[in-house]
A and B are shown apart, each in its own frame.
Chain A
């Protein structure tokens, strides 16, 4: 843990260095947004969730202890935020219509840089494939989805995932196996 540079940043922030927090924010911003987006399928909601994650990181500085890698810790917060939000709004997170505009705080529609310019054909095919994959992930039960995402996209160990989700390692094995079985069936034409 002592050699993890992000742990050092967090400890500096704990000691009052706000620039350390800004560094962590910059490093993890995109990752956390994508984690939340793959979890809920809605970009606007994903950004709200991601902001909540960083607010919690900020609030937790005073009692932060370097017991694990920083990434393990921040993703534990992200898992809690995502699962808590879906408990609050049980059926809200379906596949979002991309036609629904969202407005920024100044009233302008929110713009996503990757949607500004037209895509070449192979990129269109890749985008369609991504949408199929995202759709399949969203059809998984929440806990299977979270375990699968933590393993596949972030390569956390089963022990780390168990800590992040507050379950046993045996449960993690079962969740990931079942998630893969279901995804294999849903995406049989792609595999």
Chain B
């Protein structure tokens, strides 16, 4: 079975001068003793010669005309943000926009302001409102203390505390 030289992959870069000084010197020395790599390099050089010998194609008759037309269209095209920039509109539309903006903005401001919705009440009246909306609270505060204890107890470690709760 034919063995493949381990340095074969470096031949391409060596040919293009893309190896370091040290690698290049090593490759130079290697090529003197490796017919496989020499053959590979000859094949790559022939390939390069073939490819570089390919003829060019010429631009079509329409290429220039087509390009300048595209470029004119490109120059005429304004970026989207231009539409929203009043500075590009001229003074009359910009002034009209400013006035409309002030009117609409003012209306929106006054409708949204909390000033129209504040009820000025005395302290006594405020307390009546609170009392009327108050949530009924259990008079048995001990029950709530017990519940608080239960919710935090680890039952396995605090039997004494649990036993203190008479209702359970």
Contact = CB atoms under 8 A, between A and B. Distances in A.
Do A and B pair up? The answer is yes
Interface residues of A, number: 46
Interface in B1-29: 9, 11-13, 16, 18
B60 A110 contact: yes
Contacts of A50: 63
B48 interface: yes
Given A54-B67, A55-B74, A105-B65, A180 B59 contact: no
Interface stretch (A5-13, A26-34, A63-71, A73-81): A26-34
A156 B164 CA distance: 89
Contacts of A126: 55
B47 A34 contact: no
B62 interface: yes
A33 B71 contact: no
A152 B52 CA distance: 7
B61 interface: yes
Contacts of A33: 57, 59, 63
Contacts of B66: 47, 51, 104-105
A133 interface: yes
A153 B56 CA distance: 11
B15 to A, nearest CB: 9
B92 to A, nearest CB: 31
A37 B63 CA distance: 14
Contacts of B67: 25, 51, 54-55
Interface string B124-162: 000000000000000000000000000000000000000
B59 to A, nearest CB: 6
A186 to B, nearest CB: 10
A151 to B, nearest CB: 6
B62 A104 contact: yes
Contacts of A54: 67, 71
B70 interface: yes
12 contacts: A37-B57, A47-B59, A58-B71, A110-B61, A111-B60, A111-B61, A114-B57, A158-B13, A183-B47, A183-B51, A187-B50, A191-B50
Interface of B: 9, 11-13, 16, 18, 43-44, 46-48, 50-52, 54-67, 69-71, 74
Given A55-B70, A111-B60, 12 more contacts: A30-B59, A33-B59, A51-B66, A51-B70, A54-B71, A55-B67, A104-B62, A110-B62, A151-B16, A153-B51, A158-B16, A176-B13
